[in-house]
A = this chain, B = another copy of it.
Amino acid sequence: MDSALKTGLFIININNIAYPDINIQGDDLIDPWNSTSVDYEKLVQQFGIKPFKELLKDIENPSFLMERGIIFGHRDFGRIVKAMREKTPFTVVTGMMPSGKMHIGHKMIVDQLIWYQSKDAEIYIPIADMESYSARGVDFNDSRKLALEEYITNYIALGLDFQSKNVRTYLQSENRDVNDLAYKLARKVNWNEMKAIYGFSGSTNIAHLYAPLIQVADILHPQLDTYGGPKPVVVPVGPDQDPHIRLTRDIAERFKNQFQFIAPSSTYHRFITGLTGGKMSSSKPKTAIFLSDSPDVAEKKIKTAKTGGRESLDEQRKMGGVPEDCVVYEMLLYHLVDDDQELNSIHSQCKSGEIMCGECKAQAAVKVRELFETLAQKREKARGQAIKVLED
A residues apposed to B, CB below 8 Å: 130, 133-134, 137, 173, 176, 179-180, 183-184, 186-192, 194-195, 200-210, 213
Contacts and interface: CB of A to CB of B under 8 A. Distances in A.
A206 B202 contact: no
The 4 nearest A-B residue pairs measured at CB: A186-B207, A192-B202, A186-B206, A187-B207
Nearest to A130: B183
Nearest to A172: B183
Mostly helix, strand, loop or mixed at chain A's interface?
A: helix
A375 to B, nearest CB: 35
Contact of A203 (B180, B192, B213): B192
A195 B187 contact: no
30 contacts: A130-B183, A133-B183, A133-B184, A133-B187, A134-B183, A134-B186, A134-B187, A173-B180, A179-B179, A183-B207, A183-B210, A184-B207, A186-B205, A187-B205, A187-B206, A189-B205, A190-B202, A190-B203, A190-B204, A190-B205, A190-B206, A191-B201, A191-B202, A191-B209, A192-B203, A195-B202, A206-B209, A206-B210, A206-B213, A210-B210
A206 B189 contact: yes
A21 B208 CA distance: 37
A351 B206 CA distance: 54
Nearest to A173: B180
Nearest to A210: B210
A195 B203 CA distance: 11
B187 A208 contact: yes
Contacts of A180: 173
A210 B182 CA distance: 11
Copies of this protein chain in the complex: 2
B187 A191 contact: no
A65 to B, nearest CB: 35
Contacts of A208: 187
A289 to B, nearest CB: 33
Contacts of A188: 205
A320 to B, nearest CB: 54
Contacts of A200: 191
A308 B384 CA distance: 79
A42 to B, nearest CB: 31
A127 B205 CA distance: 26
B184 A206 contact: no
A258 B202 CA distance: 25
Contacts of A210: 183, 186, 206, 210
Contacts of A189: 205-206
A390 to B, nearest CB: 17
A210 to B, nearest CB: 5
A292 B384 CA distance: 62
B192 A206 contact: no
Given A190-B204, A190-B206, A191-B204, 6 more contacts: A130-B183, A133-B183, A186-B210, A191-B202, A206-B213, A209-B209
